[in-house]
Amino acid sequence: MSLLPVDEALQAILARVPDVTREEVRLSDAVGRVLAAPVIAGHNQPPFNASAMDGFAMRAADVSEGARLRVIGTSQAGAGYGGSVQPGEAVRIFTGAPVPPGADTVIMQEEAVREGDFVRFTVPARPGHSVRPKGNDFSTGQVLITSGTRLTPMQIAVAAAANQARLTVARRPSIALVATGDELVLPGTALGPDQILASNSFGLAAMLAPYARIVTDHGIFADDPGQLRERLGGILSAEPDFLITTGGASVGEHDLVQGVLNDLAVSLDFWRINMRPGKPLMFGTRGRTLVFGLPGNPVSAMVTALVFIKPALRAFLGHAGPLPLRLPLAAPTPANSARRHFMRAQLVHGPDGTMAADPISQIDSGHTSSLAAADLLIVQPEHDPGRPAGSIVEALRIDAF
């Protein structure tokens, strides 16, 4: 069986992702969620011409050297002046308060001299100065935040200003994680002969949690076909949106996951990808559940999750995600093989402040410390001859949503 190109594998996965399901959440619960409907202004902001300063509101035409204007009242936030400003009049005004009809400018209090019921000014007036026009921030019907946006605190603030108590967002998926392998033990366990620590589910849970409603770690399953069939069958019967296994995805005698998934009526689309690290990647479906069988090697598991599962999760949420970076190389890259290489790299800053990708020479798929030190994955094309320092390459941010 030939190796499936990375782009074709990703396209096949995304074709299986269901359409976005909408739900409403309170504004206070919406940060980090992805909008499934735009936020549209239902009113003008500000809803009236508002003062940007503490000072006095008047007609600019009435201000001249030596002129005194009669102060006829006060406008403050929440209690505007009830009348209008006529020639020769001014109103004491405070920041955020309505500018009364007839006034067309505000002069701040530091440039005013109060003389009993009158005020004069030490600067000329400029029409419209220090006045925030009605609808200056946003106006009725304006789209403030588009669908597909992952909400930040600043966007939560503008939604509140638009009087939105609830927002329509994408339903987040449930994710089930399973690690397989007789050799695996949990962190905190004293290692016995031939044992290794299980790290994949912990790293994957941390990576995928920002996208998920719930991530359930079902622990370590032994390399026993009967146990695998029973326990994976139980998980699939609960219909999680994503089932992600690690280990047992290759073709050795102890790589049992593919056969068990077939027995459980999982329709497998593919199981070998033309990439490194991470060639033995399985993908299929059962009902609504998207099933990923990741390699057991820790770097391979994390890289394939970043390259394939994160885009599937973004599609599930209706979020476009970040574009790949294009950066100069801080050091040369070696020639590549026939498989696309996702090369570990650090994001570095040169003396002129520009950013560059500094390749990490370690390529072992079990070398977790080099992946922990990486900020980027350089996407090295198949049969790439290697690039000198300064060449522009494509790279994926490891920590990007």
Instruction: At 148, list the tokens.
Output: 């597909």
- Please state, in angstroms and rounded to a whole number, the distance separating the CA atoms of residues 91 and 56: 5
Instruction: Work out the end-to-end distance of the chain between its first and last CA atoms, rounded to an integer number of angstroms.
Output: 34
- Please state, in angstroms and rounded to a whole number, the distance separating the CA atoms of residues 122 and 72: 20
Average pLDDT of the chain, as a whole number: 95
This prediction has a pTM of 0.91
Averages of pLDDT over runs of 10 residues in the chain (401 residues) are 90 97 98 98 97 98 95 97 97 98 98 97 96 97 98 97 97 97 92 92 97 97 92 97 87 72 93 92 96 95 97 97 94 96 95 92 91 97 97 97 94
Q: What secondary structure does DSSP assign to 125-147, as a single string?
A: --TTTTEE-TTSSB-TT-EEE-T
- Please state, in angstroms and rounded to a whole number, the distance separating the CA atoms of residues 228 and 257: 8
* φ/ψ of residue 281, rounded to 5: -110, 125
Q: Are 303 and 30 in contact (CB under 8 A)?
A: no
Predicted confidence at residue 2, as pLDDT, reads 82
Query: Coil, strand or helix: which one is 107?
Result: strand
pLDDT single digits (tens) 298-337? 999 999 999 999 999 999 999 998 999 999 999 999 999 9
pLDDT single digits (tens) 351-388? 788 999 999 999 988 899 999 999 999 999 999 999 99
Of 65, 102, 62, whose CA–CA distance to 80 is shortest?
Answer: 102
- Please state, in angstroms and rounded to a whole number, the distance separating the CA atoms of residues 118 and 81: 17
- Please state, in angstroms and rounded to a whole number, the distance separating the CA atoms of residues 136 and 114: 31
pLDDT single digits (tens) 136-166? 999 999 999 999 999 999 999 999 999 999 9
* φ/ψ of residue 375, rounded to 5: -105, -20
Predicted confidence at residue 231, as pLDDT, reads 96
- Please state, in angstroms and rounded to a whole number, the distance separating the CA atoms of residues 285 and 281: 14
Q: What secondary structure does DSSP assign to 154-186, as a single string?
A: HHHHHHHHTT-SEEEEEPPPEEEEEEE-TTEE-
Instruction: Go through the domains of the chain in sequence order and give each one's CATH number.
Output: 6-20+171-317 (3.40.980.10), 23-45+137-170 (3.90.105.10), 50-132 (2.170.190.11), 325-397 (2.40.340.10)
Query: Coil, strand or helix: which one is 81?
Result: coil
